Amino acid sequence: MTAPTTLSQDELKTLVGQAALHYVVPGEIVGVGTGSTVNKFIDALATIKDSIRGAVSSSEASTARLQALGIPVFDANEVERLSVYIDGADEIDGAGYMVKGGGAALTREKIVAALAERFVCIADESKLVPALGAFPLPVEVIPMAAAQIVRRFAAMGGQATLRCKDGQPLVTDNGQHILDVRGLSIAEPLAFESQVNQWPGVVTVGVFAHQKAHVCLLGTAQGVRTLQ
Ligand code: 5RP
């Protein structure tokens, strides 16, 4: 009897990265997210680069990878619509609501996703959750507002901490800071996103509910599971 094959998390990411090619429309520009799963998609996209016009990217990191592989990158302002945006998630629930921003690219991710008719989320099965909130919620903030935003989250029962890198506050591609908020329960993602988004100094909250995924390609031990 053959032992069941166990795929590593990295292999599951490769699987969904390749599966996402199915959603790329030949002759068009594709929206590209950020992260280790998206890196697998970018690698797969390079194999069909001659059949697309190029990409709109959600981060400096993805732009560098796309360009290194010979895929033209367009500025978001040059594009009116995209048929598809492909990105990972830190958490996704059964309705397609997500928490994103573990890679600090959440603001540009929302901007590129807003150009797209369809959001395809690619993730390994560890990202599927019954309810959002276990992953620390990333929030991009204007630095001078950080302390008051920390207090607002505390009033909701959340503990917000400034994300640091090499002992210094992490600076996003947009020159701002990231708060990671623990201890929240996000029972109503749409209302929560709307509420936090209107606090002064919040650039973007990492709940993607108004721009939820239309399709999720989930990498599982049994292969790619499509949720829609
Ligand atoms: C970056 C993101 C990523 O999509 C998210 O963090 C998932 O990343 P990974 O594929 O590396 O697990 O939102 O800001």
Render pLDDT for 132-147 as a digit per residue (tens, 0 to 9): 999 999 999 999 999 9
Q: How many CB atoms lie within 10 A of CB 64?
A: 12
d(CA 130, CA 57): 30
pLDDT at 187 over 90: yes
Nearest atom (ligand 1) to Cα of 88:
4
Report DSSP state, residue 152. Answer: H
Strand duo 73-74 + 54-57: pairing: parallel
Among 8, 16, 37, which is best to mutate for testing ligand 1, by the most ligand atoms less than 8 A from CB? Answer: 37
- Predicted confidence band of residue 124 (pLDDT cuts 50, 70, 90): very high
> pTM of the full predicted structure?
0.95
Q: Which residue among 8, 14, 34 has the greatest number of ligand 1 atoms within 8 angstroms of its CB, and so is best to mutate?
A: 34
The residue whose CA is least distant from atom 4 of ligand 1 is 88
Q: Average pLDDT of the chain? A: 96
Q: Does residue 96 have a pLDDT over 80?
A: yes
Residue 6 pLDDT: 85
What is d(CA 62, CA 73) in angstroms, rounded to the nearest whole number?
Answer: 10
- The answer to whether the annotation marks 103 as part of a ligand binding site is yes
ipTM above threshold 0.95:
yes
By residue count, the chain amounts to 228
Maximal C-alpha separation, the chain = 63
Mean pLDDT of 73-101: 97
Catalytic site residue 11? no
Q: Long-range contacts: 151-159, Cβ < 8 Å, 24+?
A: 152/199, 153/179, 153/181, 153/184, 156/184, 157/183, 157/184, 157/185, 158/182, 158/183, 158/184, 159/183
Asked whether residue 61 is marked as a ligand-binding residue, the answer is: no
33 annotated as ligand-binding: no
Ligand 1 site residues (CB inside 6 A) read 33-37, 87-90, 100-106, 109
Supply 36's token pair: 């280790």
Atom 1 in ligand 1: residue holding the nearest Cα: 103
CA distance linking residue 207 with residue 189, whole number of Å: 7
Q: Is 26 exposed, middle or buried (0-12, 13-18, 19+ CB in 10 A)?
A: exposed
